[in-house]
Amino acid sequence: MTLTCYRCGRTAGSGARCDCGEPLWLATDPADFSWPDGDADGPGTRGVWRYADLLPVDPLDGVGTAAGATPLVRVPRLDESAGCRLWLKDESENPTGSFKDRGSAVGVAAAASAGDDRVGTVSHGNMATSMAANAASAGLPCLVLVPEDIPPERLGYLAAYDPDVVRVAGDYGRLYYESLDLSGVRFVNSDTPYRVAGQKTTALEICEQFRRTGPDAPDADGGSSRSSPARSEALGEGTAPDAVVLPVSSGGHASATWKALRELEAAGLLEDVPRLYLVQAAACDPIAEAYRDGADEVGTAEAGETVAYSIANPDPPSGTRALTAVRETGGAVVSVPDEEILDAKRALARRAGFCVEPASATALAGVRRLSTDGAVARDDHVVAIATGTGFREPPDAGVDPPSVALDDLDESVSALLSG
């Protein structure tokens, strides 16, 4: 398939970057695309591969066929604090626990189709695990380049898939570009074209799922969640959430989300394109800084310490493309401090039952900030993308529950309930 640059329109047959410096993505012709029929659930017809007409390769047998098909869940108990009608796209249900499996499934399938001998990636977390798993399933050796200060528990999860792992000292942002020039390895990095092709299916699923069930979902009071005359009509082809909110690091997932929305609009399947909002940790927020400053391009930021370690990217390779996506859809980029991220993480667990990593919790923290600022209204239907599971993270401080004798159980429980 042809590669093209969103900014200057140039085309290429290979590579990851345009001569103008911006990232390339795969050109598609979505004019004849329509929503797939039924709820196909066979290998190669579900999840990511449900949208085969917009993808560049066929699926491989194995774990890649399990990517996608994650639930879109209405979470009304969070509406009050979120300031809107909140939905959660739970990407933790992908095979390795994050949205990265979508891009890895397509990227590894493309490498196998091209006859590549080895795949690789630059990552210190979810993408490393995802690529290693998909490569193992395809029988391809995998090289993972990680920063020198990677937490040891992350290396432990990665080791299960037996990739070749190299710690690299130095500028992590520069490592992304250096890897693309290494010979003998097809690198499927954060925003390379085939990864973006797979990751756009997050937004395709959101729009299809919302079209089917969105405005009919019950509110906390048991009534309809429709909020306007337009929403009181039967579901139609153009029905979509008002906004999509997601964490941003490299800008690859944000770019993929924008690409999906562009394709659906070109296919005539969206009457109103959802506003795209991106969220960063305040300690490292180059895209948010560029948005606040009204800049046309994203520069390099200081990399401060943050609990949202996996999105602390001071030099995002698709930062400018992500910034463009926000402006084209009427959205915004916000940054949130660690205390708000951790509070959102607790709220997702205690009020909605979802255990997410801190980077994922930035989405809810961002929704709260947007509603406070007036960008999101109480009657807006907003989808927050929970990008990855929290069960891989070090646990919060432990608890010390009381211990009682079995004969004293009734008395102890009564005291607990009355207290």
Of 51-60, 125-134, 404-413, the least confident? 404-413
Residue 57 DSSP SS3: coil
Residues in a beta bridge with 389: 356
User: What's the chain's average pLDDT?
Assistant: 90
Res. 25 pLDDT band, cuts 50 70 90: very high
For 239, half-sphere exposure in the C-beta direction (CA atoms, 13 angstrom radius) is 20
pLDDT in tens, 61-90: 999 999 999 999 999 999 999 999 999 999
Measured between its terminal Cα atoms, the distance across the chain in Å is 66
Confidence tier at 43 by pLDDT (50, 70, 90): low
- Confidence (pLDDT) at 154: 81
Is the predicted pLDDT of residue 397 greater than 80, yes or no? no
Phi and psi of 165, rounded to 5°? -115, 130
Task: Give 308's contacts (C-beta < 8 A, 6+ positions apart).
Answer: 247, 281, 338, 341, 358, 359, 361, 362
Q: Do domains 41-97+194-386 and 100-192 have the same CATH topology?
A: yes
pLDDT at 219 over 70: no
Q: What pLDDT, in 10s, does the model give residues 226-279?
A: 333 333 333 344 589 999 999 999 999 999 999 999 999 999 999 899 999 999
- The residue ranges of every structural domain in the chain are 41-97+194-386, 100-192
Q: Which CATH class is domain 100-192?
A: alpha beta
Say whether pLDDT at 177 is over 80.
yes
Determine whether 389 is exposed, middle or buried from the number of CB atoms within 10 Å of its CB (0-12, 13-18, 19+).
buried
Residue 6 identity (one-letter amino acid): Y
State percent of the chain over pLDDT 70.
92
Residue 154, amino acid = R
3-class state of residue 259 by DSSP: helix
Report the C-alpha gap between 363 and 397 in whole angstroms.
23
Question: What is the number of alpha carbons within 13 Å of residue 136 lying toward its C-beta?
Answer: 17
Tell me which architecture the domain covering 41-97+194-386 has in CATH. 3-Layer(aba) Sandwich (3.40)
pLDDT at 302: 86
Helices and strands in the chain, H and E counts: 13, 13
pLDDT at 153 over 50: yes
Find tokens 């400053």 and name the residue.
Answer: 293
Angle at 384 between CA 176 and CA 95, to 5 degrees: 60
The closest of 208, 268, 174 to 39, measured between CA atoms, is: 208
Write the single-letter amino acid at 342. Answer: L
Q: Residue 336 above 80 pLDDT?
A: yes
